[in-house]
Structure 1
Amino acid sequence: MHTETRLAQLHAADLHAQAERHRLAAAVKPPVELRTRLGWTLVEVGLRLASTPRPTPALV
């Protein structure tokens, strides 16, 4: 068997294994309640950061 052919087979097998791992990881999702709480917590933190008053520079 040629070296290039064997390397192509190994590469294809590696890609198939990566695709299977990705498919399995995508199938496992956190509970909706946890995702919802995390989402609203991030919104709250973002609003706090956006609404923080900044000191205005003094006019000289």
Structure 2
Amino acid sequence: MNPETHLALHRMRAAELGAEAEAYRLASEARQPHGLRTRLGWTLVEVGLRLATPKPALAPSPSS
């Protein structure tokens, strides 16, 4: 393949990938942040695990 043709194809593909990456970046910025939803979800998981885990038995206190 002619080096000039190869370079032209490479530049076209690089421009396509750059445009695709820019479109993906803009789309990801437009999405609503899920930070609160994620934190709430993990908090609910933690609470559920605390409720489901049995508490260790307390050692009997010595009688005097």
Q: TM-score range by the shorter chain?
A: 0.5 to 0.7
* 2:2 partner letter: T
Structure 1 unaligned residues grouped into runs of 5+: 49-60
Are 1:14 and 2:13 an aligned pair? yes
Q: How many matched pairs?
A: 44
Measured on the aligned residues, the alpha-carbon RMSD in Å equals 2.5
Name the CA distance, whole Å, in 1 between partners of 2:27 and 2:11. Answer: 25
Larger of the two Rg values belongs to structure: 2
Runs of 5+ unmatched residues, structure 2:
47-64
Q: Which runs of 4+ in 1 moved over 4 A?
A: none
* 1:12 positional shift: 0.6
Identity %: 7
TM-score of the aligned structures, taking structure 1 as reference length: 0.56
Distance 1:9 1:17 in 2: 12
- TM-score, structure 2 length as denominator? 0.53
